[in-house]
Each structure stands twice: as C-alpha cells, then as structure tokens.
Amino acid sequence: MSTSGPERRQLHYFADYEGYCDGRPVLWGQLAHSVDVPADGELDAATLVRALRRRAAEAHGLEAGQIRLCQVTRL
C-alpha cells in the first residue's frame, strides 16, 4: 500500500497580455506559467486566469484588474 498522495501532473501555459491605466493600454508582455493538477483531475480555468493576471500585474506594479489577457496557449 502506498502512503504517498495522488500523483500530480504539471501543465504549462504561455500568455500574451496588455496592461491598462485609465482605460488606455500602457504596456504589453508575455509570461510562462506552470500549474500542478491531480493526474485524474481537471484544471479550473477561472483559477488559471486569475493566476496569470496576478503574475502579470505583480511584474509591473499594477492591479490584476488592469491586466487583459490577449491569448493563453497550453504548451
């Protein structure tokens, strides 16, 4: 009997985004992001979008609500 937890798999994503301030685009960028999910589970898309927007915002000193994801690709 195994005492380890359920196996996990790692999914990798690439995102293009724009940052907005006062309704105007002020920057654009790209980021790569990896997420662990249970081998038999599914990724919650809303959680992925929140994580991508948060990481992009943190990289530029913005709020997540100021980030617009233009494209998200699973690698």
Bridge partners (DSSP) listed for residue 15: 31, 72
Per-residue pLDDT at 75: 94
Mean pLDDT by 10 residues, the chain (75 residues): 72 98 96 92 92 97 97 97
pLDDT digits (tens, 9 = 90+) for 31-40: 999 999 988 8
Q: What pLDDT shows up at residue 4?
A: 66
Output the pTM of the full model.
Answer: 0.84
Q: What is the predicted pLDDT for the residue at 5?
A: 66
pLDDT of residue 42: 87
Domain definitions of the chain by residue range? 8-74
- At the topology level, CATH places domain 8-74 in Ubiquitin-like (UB roll) (3.10.20)
What is the pLDDT, as a whole number, of residue 64? 97
User: DSSP secondary structure string, 8-31?
Assistant: EEEEEEEEEEEEEETTEEEEEEEE
The residues facing 66 across adjacent strands are none
